[in-house]
């Protein structure tokens, strides 16, 4: 095993895992047991795997055409990447999953933020 081909991913407030150069972040994340959302199966169609890059952006693969297209459609900032399309090539990175549960899915993917905020204020 060539150690130059293995890097670390720190998931903010979660864990640190290792990733091989030929794996996507999503593949490494799932292999490590992280319940990483990937509704479209890793095909750059859903954006549920998206992550924020906190450190080490220059160590990542460049966005491919499929990722560029989805990022444009969703108007993602430059520090947001699709875990299913992104590889860690040259060094360690620090990232954060955005969608961690069903509530996040509703807010960030289905745009139900106003419903969610309203429900917090409702007295039962």
> How many CB atoms are located within 10 Å of the residue 117 CB?
10
Could you give the strand order of the β-sheet that contains 15-20, starting from the edge strand earlier in sequence? 15-20, 6-11, 93-97, 50-55, 80-82
42 binds ligand FES (CB under 6 A): yes
Core vs surface per residue 97-114: b (16+ CB within 10 A) or e: bbbeeeeebebbbeeeee
Residue with smaller CB distance to ligand FES, 43 or 119: 43
Query: Of 21, 23, 32, 45, which lies in the binding site for ligand FES, with binding defined by CB under 6 A?
Result: 45
**Residue 6 Cβ vs ligand FES, minimum distance, rounded to whole Å:** 23
Q: Which residue is nearest to ligand FES (CB)?
A: 84
Site for ligand FES in 48-107 (CB under 6 A): 48-49, 82, 84
Residues that bind ligand FES (CB under 6 A): 38-40, 42-49, 82, 84
């Amino acid at each position: 095993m060539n150690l130059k081909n293995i890097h670390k991913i720190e998931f903010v407030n979660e864990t640190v895992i290792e990733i091989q150069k030929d794996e996507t972040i999503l593949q490494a994340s799932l292999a490590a047991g992280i319940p990483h959302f990937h509704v479209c199966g890793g095909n750059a169609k859903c954006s549920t795997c998206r992550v924020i890059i906190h450190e080490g952006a220059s160590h990542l693969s460049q966005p491919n055409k499929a990722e560029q297209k989805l990022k444009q459609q969703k108007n993602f900032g430059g520090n947001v990447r699709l875990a299913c399309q992104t590889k860690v090539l040259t060094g360690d990175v620090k990232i954060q999953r955005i969608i961690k549960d069903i509530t996040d899915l509703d807010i960030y993917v289905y745009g139900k933020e106003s419903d969610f905020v309203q429900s917090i204020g409702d007295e039962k």
